[in-house]
Amino acid sequence: MNTAADVTVRPTAKGQVGDPFSSPWRRRLPLLPALLFMILVTQLPFLVSIYYSLTNLKDKTQSLIPEPTKFVGIENYRAIFNDPFFRQAMWTSVQMTVFAVVLSVFFGTLFAILLDRRFFGQGVIRTLLITPFLLMPVVAALIWKQQMFSSLFGILDKVLNFLGFSSVAFISDHPLASIVTVLVWQWTPFMMLIMLAGLQSQPSDILEAAGVDGATPLGIFRQLTLPHLRRYLELGALLGSIYIVQAFDAIDVMTGGGPGSTNVPYFVYEESIGGGFRYGSASAYAIVVVIFSIIIATLALRLLSGLLKDEERA
Amino acid sequence: MIGRARRGSRLGVGESRAAIIALGIAAWVVGMLWIFPVGWTLLTSFKTEQDASAQTLHNGLTFARYSDVSHSTTGTLSLSAAFTNSLVVVVVSTVIVMLLALPAAYALAIHPVPKWRDVLFFFISTKFLPIVASIFPIYVYAEKWNLIGTRTILIVLYIAINLPLAIWMMRSFFVEVPRELIEASEIDGTSLFNQLRSVILPIAAPGIAATALLCVIFAWNEYFYAIQLNFAGASTMPQWVIGNVSTRGNFLAKLSAASIIACLPVVLAGWAAQKRMIRGLSLGAIK
Amino acid sequence: MKVLVGILVMGLIAVASLAATAIGSTKAKTISVAIVANGQMQDIAKLTPSLFTKKSGIKVKYTILDEGKLRQVTTRDVGSGGKAFDVVMIGPYEAPQFGVAGLLKDLMPMAKSDQAYNYNDLIPAVRNALSAKGHLYAAPFYGESSFLMYRKDILATKGVKMPLHPTWQQVAAAARKIKTSSMAGICLRGKPGWGDLGAAFTTVLNTFGGTWWSAKPNGQPDKAQVDQPAFKAALDFYAKLVQDAGEKDAANSSFNECLTQYQAGKVAMWYDATVAAGTLEASDSPVKGKNGYAFAPVNKTKSSGWLWSWALAIPKSSPDPSDAWKYIAFATGKQYLRAAGPLVKGGWASIPPGTRVSTYQIPQYKKAAKAFAAITLAAMKAAPITNPGTTKRPGLPGVQYVGIPQFQDVGNRCTQLFSRVIAGSAKASDALSQCQSIASKAIK
C-alpha cells in the first residue's frame, strides 16, 4: 500500500510520480477524458430517449394531418406489458444468446484443446479457424444465406439432394437455428483464442509434476486444467454475451425479422426506424431493455468470481 | 511464457504417438470444415454469374468479377472512396480509443480511483442500450449539427462502441504489471512518461496490440451506424459490399468478389497478429 | 520531443492542404439522389455523367439502396426535414402521403411550365397515382402493373390454354396440371415485406372480396378486417397454391428469386411486375420469345393488376431544389428514354417502361417490346387504383397497399406471419388472429 511515508519527498515537477498520487484528483485525472467522452456520447442520447419515451413522438410522415407531439407519461410503458410480440422477442433473445454463447464456448474450448499441441500445419489451421471472426457480420450472414442455406444457389441443398434427402428450407423453416449457426460460426474463434490463452497460461511444471505422479491426461484435464480455465470460460461467456445479445446484422440480412428470429434489438428497430417510426414507443422499449440488462448484468457479475477481483489494489 | 516454447512439441503425459497424429488429423478436418463457407465463397468469386448461380464450373475461372466490382461509375460509391472512408474512420477512431483508454486504464489499475469497480461497470453498461434504440436521438442531433454523411459522426460513434472494451482489456493488462516494479520506479522519481514507457508498456505491449486489433476489427466491420447515418456521404466498406446485392439479376459471383475484397484487410491483420492476441490474452485479460 | 514537434508540424501541413483542396472543389454543383437498386436505375446512374453532367454541369451523387433500406432512409430523412438528399425515389404509396403532409415540393408548376418536359405525355394513371389534391408530388421514372407471364411452349406441350383474362381458379388449375418434379407450376412471391409478399397477396385479397381495413365515410380506417372470411379465403388459396404447385423455398422468394427460376426453366408461370418482361425479352435472355402474357388473374373483380411507379421527388428541405428539378426533368424526360435505348445493356426492351405514352410509339421500342408493350400499357390503364376490391378502402388510392401510413408497418409484420403459413410452419388461423390484433392496434 502506497503511503506518503514510503516515498521520499521530491520537488513535484510536471509529470513526476511521487507524492502526488495520494491526492484523489490526480488519481482521477487520467480517467476523466474517457469518462467525459462516454458520458457525453452515450448518456445524452439515453436521456433524450427517456424523454421521448414519455411522449407519443412519431415520424412526420406517419400522419396525414400534422399531429403535435404530446406528453403521454407512462402510457408507452403500460403498453409494453400488454405486448405479446415484445415478450416473444425477449424469449427469442434469450434463446439466441444462450444457444450461441454456450455452443461457441463449447466449440471454442474443443478447438483450443485440439490446437494446443504442435502438429503439422498447426499455424495454418489456427489461422483458418480464426478467420470467420474477422469477417464482417453482414458478409458472414450473406455467405451463409446465399452460398450455404439457399435452395436456389446454396451448396448444402445440392449435397442433401446428392445424398438422397429432400431439400430443406433452412432459413424459412428454421430461422432461429440458422441465425444461431452464423453466430456460432463467427464467435467460436473468439472463444477459441481466449481458451487458447487459458490453456497456454497453465504453469507447465505443475502439469508435468502431475504427470510424473501418474495422473492420466483426462484426470489432469479435469482436476487441473478445467478449474484453471474457469475464469477464461467466464470471460468468454461474458464478453460474448454482451456482443451476441445485440446481434442485428445477421437477422437483418438473413430473415428480415419474423417470429423466431426477431430478437429485442431487431424488435426495437422495427418499432422505430425500421418501419414503425414510432420513436416514443420505441424509446420506451429500449429503456425497459436497458433496465433488464443492468439487472441481469449485476447478477451475473456477482456470480462470476474473480473477474473483478483485485485484492492488492484496493 | 512459462515453458510455452516447449508446450507444443512434448508428448503430453500418457499420450501416444498415434493419439497425437489422430488429433492432428482431427484438427485438419475441423479446420477444413470450418473454413469451407469462406473457401466456397472464394471459389465463387472467380466464376461467371451463370456458374455461380448453378454451382457448376462450365466457364472456367476468371478475375473478371473482381474488376467488375472495382469499376464504378462516377457518382456512385466507388471501392476507393469506401476504402478510404473506412480506413480513415477506423484508424482515427482506434488511435483516439487507445489515447483515451491508456490513461483511463492507468487510473483504474495502477493507482486506482476509489470506486473503480463502479466506474468499470459504468463503462460496460453503456453497451446495454441497443444501438438500434439510440439511433434516432443520435440522428436528430447529428442532423442538427450537420454531421450526417460525414466521417466525424462515425468516428465519434465507433470510439463510443470500442472504448468500454478497450478500457476493460487494458486495465487487466496493466494490473499484470508487478507491483514492485511500479513502486521501484516511483521511488526513483521517474516521470510518469518514463514510467509508462519503460515499465508498463513493455509488459502490456502484446495486450495493447490485442486491444487495438479488436477495435480495428469491430470498427471496420460495423454496419448499422454506417448504413443509417452515412448514406449519401462518407460511406464505408460494409455499405459498398451490400451495394453489390442486386434485387434484379444474378449477382452471386460479384457479391463474393466484393466480400473477399472488403474483408481482406482485417483478415490479413488478424492473421498477422493472432499470436500476439493469444499472448496478450493469456497474460491477463482475466484479472 | 523533437519527433513530436515534427509530427505536429507535418500534421498541420497535411490538414492545411486538405482544407485548401476542399475549398477549391466546392465550385462544381453537386446534388444528392437516393435511388433503388434496380436495373433501370443502375443504368441511368451509369449514363448520368455523359448524358446529364456534361450538358448541365451538375454532378450527381447517387446513393443506391435496396427497397427496404431506401424506404427507411427516405422516410426518416423526409420526415425529419433532413438535408441529406436533393432528390429521393419513392412510389405512389409515399408520394401522396408525404405530399399531403406537406413534406414534398409540388412539381406541378415546374412540370407544366417546361414545354420540353411535356406533362401531358405522362401516362395519366401513373401521374394521378403520384399526385394528391391536384398537385404532382413525384415524377415517374418507371411504371409497372402486374400480370401473368407463362412459358407458351411448356403450356402447349401439356395442352393447357391460357385465356387473356384468366381467373385465379383457372390459373391454379393450370399450375397444378403442368407442374413436374423438376419444374414448379407457378412462382408467387412469398418473402415477407409489404412490397414483396404484401403486394402480390393484396391483389389476390382484393379480387377475393377481402380488405385490410374497412373505411369510415371520411376516409379514415374504421375496423381491421383480417378476421373476415374473405381474408381467410384469400390467404388459404394463396398458401395452398404455392404449397401444391409453387416454387421451392417460397418463403424466401420475391421478384429476383422468381426471375432466376423462371429464366432457368424451374417454373413455368410467374405472376409479378410487368417490368419483368423487359428482362425476359432482353437480347441476352435464355427465354426470349418463349413467353405468353395474360392480365392479372381475377376472381370477383374485373381487374386486379397493381399499379406501382418508382418516381423522383424533391423533399421540402432539399438543399438545392432548382438543380434537383433539372435532374428530374432529365431522368423522367423523353430525351433520356430515346438516348438510353442503344446504350443500356439489355437493349431497347429494358429501358424504363410505363411512364410516357410516347415511349410506346418509339419504333425501336415497339419492335423490341412487341410481346409485352401493349398488354403492359393496358394493364396499367386497367389497374383499379381507386376501387381495387369489392368494398370501400380507407386512405389514399392504392391497389396492392392501403394508402394510410400505418400500412407499411402492419404489412411488414403481417407478411412475416403469412410467410410462415406459406412455408407450412404456422397455421393460417393463428397468423390471421395475430395479424388482426396488429392491424387493430395500429389504427387506434
Distance CA A160, CA A177 (A): 18
- B262 contact partners, CB below 8 Å, separation of at least 6: A136, A139, B237, B238, B240, B241
Residue B280: which H helix or E strand, with range? Answer: helix B252-282
Q: Which three cell numbers stand for residue C404?
A: 394510410
pLDDT tops 60 at residue A6 = no
Amino acid identity of C194? W
Could you tell me the pLDDT band of residue B10, with boundaries at 50, 70 and 90?
very low
Query: For all residues of chain B together, what is the average pLDDT?
Result: 83
Nearest to C193 by CA among C413, C8, C437, C428: C413
> Contact C98/A61, CB-based, under 8 Å?
yes
Assembly ipTM? 0.87
- Which pLDDT value is given to residue A306? 52
Q: Which three cell numbers stand for residue A167?
A: 431439400
- Which pLDDT value is given to residue A14? 42
- Which pLDDT value is given to residue C188? 97
pLDDT tops 80 at residue A189 = yes
CA distance A36 to chain B (A): 10
Could you tell me the pLDDT band of residue B249, with boundaries at 50, 70 and 90?
low
- Which pLDDT value is given to residue B229? 83
The separation between the first and the last C-alpha atoms of chain A, rounded to the nearest angstrom, is 9
- Which pLDDT value is given to residue A302? 77
pLDDT in tens, A262-306: 999 999 999 988 888 888 999 999 899 888 888 888 887 777 655
pLDDT tops 80 at residue A25 = no
A137 touches B221 (CB < 8 A): yes
C93 touches C198 (CB < 8 A): no
- Which pLDDT value is given to residue C379? 94
Structure pTM?
A: 0.88
Pick B134 or A249 by higher pLDDT. Answer: A249
Amino acid identity of B79? L
Between B and C, how many CB-CB pairs are < 8 A? 80
Range from A234-248, B104-118, B174-188, C187-201 carrying the lowest mean pLDDT? B174-188
Could you tell me the pLDDT band of residue A199, with boundaries at 50, 70 and 90?
confident
Using N-to-C axis directions, what is the helix angle for A264-271 and B131-144, rounded to 10°? 40
Calculate ∠ Cα C136-C137-C140, nearest 5°: 85
pLDDT tops 70 at residue A1 = no
CA distance C253 to chain A (A): 10
Set of chain A residues whose Cβ sits within 8 Å of the Cβ of C405: 61-64, 277
Nearest to B186 among A17, A24, A42 (CB): A17
> Contact A64/C97, CB-based, under 8 Å?
yes
Say if strands C29-36 and C58-65 run parallel, antiparallel, or are unpaired: parallel
Distance CA C41, CA C142 (A): 9
pLDDT tops 50 at residue B164 = yes
Nearest to B264 by CA among A138, A132, A125, A135: A135
- C293 contact partners, CB below 8 Å, separation of at least 6: C147, C148, C149, C150, C277, C371, C372, C375
Rounded to the nearest 10°, the torsion over CA C112, C118, C123, C126 is -40
Distance CA C66, CA C95 (A): 18
Residues of chain C with pLDDT under 70: 1-28
Determine the 3-state secondary structure of A22 from DSSP. helix
Set of chain C residues whose Cβ sits within 8 Å of the Cβ of A64: 97, 100-101, 395-396, 404-405
- Which pLDDT value is given to residue C198? 95
- CA dihedral sign, ordered C383, C384, C389, C392: positive
Chains touching A, CB cut-off 8 Å, 3+ pairs: B, C
Nearest to C45 among B73, B146, B231 (CB): B73
Nearest CA in chain C to A275: C409
> Contact C73/B231, CB-based, under 8 Å?
yes
> Long-range CB contacts (< 8 A, 24+ apart) of C46-51?
C46/B73, C47/C336, C47/C339, C47/C340, C47/C343, C47/C344, C48/B73, C48/B74, C48/B75, C49/B73, C49/B74, C49/B75, C51/C330, C51/C336, C51/C339, C51/C340
- C270 contact partners, CB below 8 Å, separation of at least 6: C148, C149, C150, C186, C187, C258, C259, C262, C276
> Mapped to the 3 state alphabet, what secondary structure does C382-413 carry?
HCCCCCCCCCCCCEECCCCCCECCHHHHHHHH
B258 touches B241 (CB < 8 A): yes
Supply φ then ψ for residue C65, to 5 degrees: -130, 160
The residue of C80, C267, C416, C430 whose CB has the most chain A CBs within 10 angstroms, and thus the best one to mutate to test that interface, is C416
Range from A64-73, A168-177, A183-192, C404-413 carrying the lowest mean pLDDT? A64-73
Set of chain C residues whose Cβ sits within 8 Å of the Cβ of B245: 37, 66
> Contact C417/A169, CB-based, under 8 Å?
no
Give me the helices (H) in A201-225, please. Answer: 204-212, 217-220
Give Rg (Cα) of chain A: 26
Nearest to B31 among A28, A125, A298 (CB): A125
Q: How many Å is the maximal CA-CA distance in chain C?
A: 90
Distance CA C64, CA C56 (A): 22
Pick C29 or B231 by higher pLDDT. Answer: C29
A215 touches B12 (CB < 8 A): no
Give Rg (Cα) of chain B: 24
- Which pLDDT value is given to residue A3? 44
Supply φ then ψ for residue B231, to 5 degrees: -55, 155
Q: Which three cell numbers stand for residue A260?
A: 423466431
Distance CA B236, CA B259 (A): 13
Chains touching B, CB cut-off 8 Å, 3+ pairs: A, C
Mean pLDDT for B114-141 is: 84
